[in-house]
Amino acid sequence: MSDSLSQTFLAITRNNTDLEWLQGALAPLGQVVSAGSTLDELLALVDVTFASLVFIGLDREHVVAQSALIEGALEAKPMLAIVALGDGMDNQLVLNAMRAGARDFVAYGSRSSEVAGLVRRLSKRLPPVTTNTQLGGLTVLYGTQSNADGALLASHLALVVQKSGQHTLLLDLGLPRGDSLALLGLESSFHFGDALRHLRRLDTTLINSAFTSAEDGLRILAYATNDEPLERTSAAELYMLLSALRQHFQHIVVNLLGQPDSEALRTFVSHCDKLLWYTDQSVLDCRRNLAVLNLWREKGMKLEHTRLLVDGYIKSCAPDSETLSKSFGLEVIAVLPLSPDVRLNAKNQGQTLFALAPREPLTQGLKSLGERLAKRSANLEKPSHNWLDRLLRAGK
């Protein structure tokens, strides 16, 4: 996970607006993950995130069930610190929260400094946060464009990391759907939606038997045409899936090109080690990308792990890579040439650039970038499977 995220907090709120307010308030301290709505989901997330502080929203209509949720969480995890959220003018809500065992109460809309200060004070009294040092590397390729080049680039980067000797997964959630499989001439009967449905069975046996295998043993998990849109995937499910996959793979490359802004997309961005922001030189695509990037910055999202990837680059055309870097406020990690004939041949023939045009600048650029990504996770220990044991225990 990104080094900038020192802590993970869990939250069950009334709506996304409340969640975004809390995420903004605690952005300097860590990541706030939506914990769904049930006790089972909450406890499972506590096990995989090692979170020790949980926010639970209360309202008059559901206060009995919400108080029972607080009591159930504390019964299962006595060392948890629970902070209730609600209308600060409603004394009855405050009383119910305290009776259920909440450590404190925060009124919706409180100033960010007040919320962050409370969390700092509570954190000093909590046990030290445990972190999982065996998580595999996670690289995300994102840009607002929807095209097959995202799948082309992501699949080649993943192949390079796999060839470095690391057990690697390509998670292709870019739009259009499933292009990575088509580009590599592969088919699959097990997709992203299946992985979410079989989350508690996601072990080595299932991965080896169900995940599609490509060149050099690279595994691929892609969208199916009938899978739910990413924005409908709960952050809790997604967080557990990513945590599970990172226990089994030393590196995961995720293609998210074309995905609309959503809580699920932001979970990927906050969860990854390296975010490669994909753009070309066109003013229209740059504007769309900058609109999302600036929105995330305004909301306090941590983006220090973000680098700019300029694709389809034409040296004789403006803006150049230096201008793009200044406009985005990001360091350029790679500039990849347009090479239209090479790309078209790779897309149409179902073969890799490494096989078709190994000496082309585009191929060499992808090889160099893939090797840089591989170095980040080269020294990680072999993934363990303790996550699955914890998750299964949480579900009992």
Please check whether residue 390 lies inside any domain of the structure: no
Check whether 60 has a pLDDT greater than 70. Answer: yes
Does any domain span residue 396? no
- Residues 6 or more apart whose CB falls under 8 angstroms from that of 294 comprise none
The predicted structure's pLDDT at residue 165: 95
pLDDT surpasses 90 at 168: yes
Residues 261 and 304 in one domain: yes
Mean pLDDT of 356-367: 97
**Burial letters for 38-69: b for 16+ Cβ neighbours within 10 Å, e otherwise?**
ebebbbbbbbbbebbbbbbbbeeeebeebbeb
pLDDT digits (tens, 9 = 90+) for 259-283: 999 989 999 998 899 999 999 999 9
Mean pLDDT of the chain: 91
Domain ends where: 125, 153, 186? 125
Q: Does residue 308 lie in a domain region?
A: yes
Q: Is the Cβ–Cβ distance between 56 and 45 less than 8 Å?
A: no
Instruction: Decide if 388 is inside a domain.
Output: no
158 and 241 part of one domain: yes
Asked if 109 and 212 sit in the same domain, the reply is: no
Judge if 113 and 141 occupy the same domain: no
Print the domain residue range for 15.
7-125
Q: What is the count of structural domains for the chain?
A: 2
Identify whether residues 217 and 363 lie together within a single domain: yes
pLDDT in tens, 120-152: 999 888 877 655 556 789 999 999 999 999 999
Same domain, 241 and 205: yes
**Domain CATH code at residue 78:** 3.40.50.2300
On the question of pLDDT at 394 being above 70, the answer is no
**Separation CA 143–CA 286 (nearest Å):** 9
CB-based contacts of 31, cutoff 8 Å, min separation 6: 5, 7, 8, 9, 23, 270, 271, 302
- 206 and 323 fall within a common domain: yes
What is the pLDDT at residue 50?
86
| Residues 171, 96 share a domain | no
* 120 and 148 within one domain: no
With a cut of 50, say whether residue 3 has pLDDT above it.
Answer: no
**Residues 49, 86 within the same domain:** yes
Is 385 a member of any domain? no
In a domain, 131, yes or no: no
> What was the pLDDT predicted at 94?
93
| Predicted local distance difference test score (pLDDT) of residue 134 | 66
Q: Do residues 320 and 232 both lie within one domain?
A: yes
In this predicted structure, what is the pLDDT of residue 101? 96
CA angle (236, 144, 178) in 5-degree steps:
70
Confidence of residue 347 (pLDDT cuts 50, 70, 90): very high
pLDDT for 285 beyond 50:
yes
Q: Residue 239's pLDDT is what? A: 87
